Amino acid sequence: MTIDRSIRATAATVLGAFLVLGAPIGALAAAGDLDGSFGAGGVQTLPFTDSYAYADEVARQTDGKIVVLGTAHSSVGIVSDFALVRLLPNGDLDTSFGDEGRVTTDFGGRYDEGLALALRPNGKIVAAGSSTGLASIVRYLPDGSLDPSFDHDGRLLLDIGVETRASDLAIQPHGRIVVALDDGWTFSAARLRRDGSLDATFGDAGVVSEDFSPGSSDWARAVALDDEGGILLGGLVFPATGTTHDDWGLARFDRHGDLDTSFGDAGLTTTDFENSGPDVLHDLAVQPDGMIVATGQSSVEPGGADQNSDVTVARYDEHGVLDPDFGTGGWVRTDLGSFFDEGRSVSLGPNGTIVVAADVYADANAQAAAIRYTDDGELDVSFGGGDGIAVVDTPSTSDQAFGVVIQRNGRIVIAGSHSTLDANGTSFEFLVARFLG
């Protein structure tokens, strides 16, 4: 992929002039352009006092406000906490939320990391991640304060007997919380009641755990819900024999926590794309028709630093079979021009479009990007200047995208990290950007 920076810079200059003069921009703006009505030219960067920070997840409220979760790490004591911000529709901090728009949460351990985010219809916010080896879950009231009706003080440390983290979460229609647990050995998940207690009607006392290959390593990275009450877990599995690299893994459980035998091989399925390098699944989404969309990376591994890893998107039917009408044989790879490209997060748009958050590595720096695909797995040439890829081009900085959400008006919000290097060293801040859809 070639990015013509001069053309983009010229377009940005002209767009800025239109904005200043108050002239109509409908004829100029195109899908994939940064949204000039958001932040500073479509981009908002958010520092945290005495810390470096990065965002992992983003979600939209029904009123158009944007919630972003990540981690703030302080150099004082070398500790980290959950970090949460809420933005108004124009990208400004919502000063009615937390402390002038920001919230940090300490679980009592030294290293707390916010990884997953979901919103309830009543305005409450649920976040999850890790706290010094334990899965951590927190629920906030709409104003950003801790919800005392959830595990007494709003914070829950979930101990399942092994070191783990909450890598993703989803909220079922009745308000119960399904948490994907990444312990490095099994595909595991827990279901919590609305008060934060384990749901004993699910799996084994609230927890399910499946091992794709006994004695090998499995990591659950994503969870999604379907309209039939099924729970999908996705991640990576390392087969015990026959291969030397990771594959994508998918498991489907019914509402009781039993494996759905109509899915894959007795509830489990794996995908090996090239049979020569590590493949990692990072995120899942379910289309209205029940088709399952996943993103991550697939790799060809010649060894050393030359590993060729590309953004990969695959679509499966409700039985865990790759959809032959999508891409080539059910999947598509997108090379962003570096040795290590990967899809971090996926969101579904209108007309079957699929948007993936990723990074573009150009020169010495990374650029946060959104990639849009059509319903059949082709790059959407109506987006991002004709190649389906839109980037946040901020010179002399390095940006990464970890989360993506599509707003009701079709605009695309990505969140991640923004780093700069100056005389004081390297600083890391939340990055939030919005593209026209």
pLDDT band at 20 (very low <50, low <70, confident <90, very high): very low
Residue 23 to residue 127: CA distance in whole angstroms? 42
Q: Is the pLDDT of residue 129 over 60?
A: yes
Q: What percentage of the chain carries pLDDT values higher than 90? A: 71
pTM above 0.75?
Answer: yes
Tell me what pLDDT residue 161 has.
86
């997108």: which residue's tokens? 334
The residues, any chain, with a CB within 8 Å of residue 66's CB and separated by 6 or more, are 58, 59, 60, 86, 87, 89, 91, 405, 413, 432
Q: Is the pLDDT of residue 108 over 50?
A: yes
Q: Per residue in 324-346, pLDDT tens?
A: 999 999 999 999 887 788 999 99
Which of 219, 129, 125 has its CA nearest to residue 168? 129
Q: Is the pLDDT of residue 50 over 90?
A: no
- For the chain, give percent helix, strand, coil, nearest 5: 5, 50, 45
Tokens describing residue 190? 């827990």
Mean pLDDT for all residues in the chain:
88
Tell me what pLDDT residue 114 has.
97
Tell me what pLDDT residue 305 has.
53
Q: Are strands 187-192 and 218-225 parallel, antiparallel or unpaired?
A: unpaired
């990290």: which residue's tokens? 417
Q: Per residue in 370-408, pLDDT tens?
A: 999 999 999 999 999 899 999 998 766 889 999 999 999
Task: Report whether 432 contacts 414 (CB < 8 A).
Answer: yes
